[in-house]
Amino acid sequence: MLVKRIGFGLLAAWAVGATLMLLAPTTILSPPRFRMIVGDNADYVSVVGTWALENGEIANPISTTTIDCFKGPMECTEATFTIFDGLRILPEVQIRYLKIINWTDASIKVHDTSAHCASSVLEIDTSLKTVKSLSTRNESLPVCRELLTRPEARAYLADGYVIAKAERQKRQPRLLKALAALFE
């Protein structure tokens, strides 16, 4: 009888722990909403959001990206903090320094060649308040064709709160089904 109680107690503790691990990253640490700030003299732009792919996939469901652009030196800094990558809790920060190709009153075009297997062009549209990215695979390196299955990827900066909420709703039925199977 004691062994059954201990076994049931361990099973219940595991179920509660698994539930918290799957739900906590999206309920407690939801990324901020999309926002764009343009400086008084239009010489500074700051954007915050979560990258989403145009095909409906999410790059990293629980992440936040901040892009700060400065007209004087014609450069941007992109910082991405990933809390949860869709499979595991993975606190990670990536910082990229980007060169501005063109800055007008309506948009900023940025070029990034920091990755070995891809180059990206970002367009920050200050009039529409959107950020889009086109990443193109480096075809000259065979390893890049193996790592990146698509020759190009289109993405946009979206509202992180909305993305986290959708990801949480997508995962909850799987979690409940797994928990129900434990008690059958």
User: What is the per-residue pLDDT across 34-85, written as a single tens digit (0 to 9) for each?
Assistant: 899 999 888 999 999 988 888 766 666 577 899 999 999 999 999 988 876 5
Residue 129's pLDDT is what? 94
Burial bucket for residue 8 (CB in 10 Å: 0-12, 13-18, 19+): exposed
Residue 84's pLDDT is what? 64
Residue 2's pLDDT is what? 39
Helix or strand holding residue 103 (H, E)? strand 89-103
Residue 64's pLDDT is what? 86
- pTM tops 0.85, yes or no: no
**In the chain, pLDDT over 90 holds for what percent of residues?**
30
Q: Which of 65, 58, 67, 109 is nearest to 86 (CA)?
A: 58
Domain residue ranges of the chain, discontinuous segments joined by +: 2-29+168-182, 35-160
Which residues does the chain have with pLDDT short of 50? 1-28
Assign domain 35-160 to a CATH class.
Answer: mainly beta
Could you list the beta-strand ranges (E) of 7-84: 35-38, 44-53, 62-70, 75-84
Residue 7's pLDDT is what? 36
Amino acid (one-letter) located at 84? F
In degrees, rounded to 5, the angle at the alpha carbon of residue 143 between the alpha carbons of residues 137 and 147 is 65
CA 10 centroid distance within chain: 35
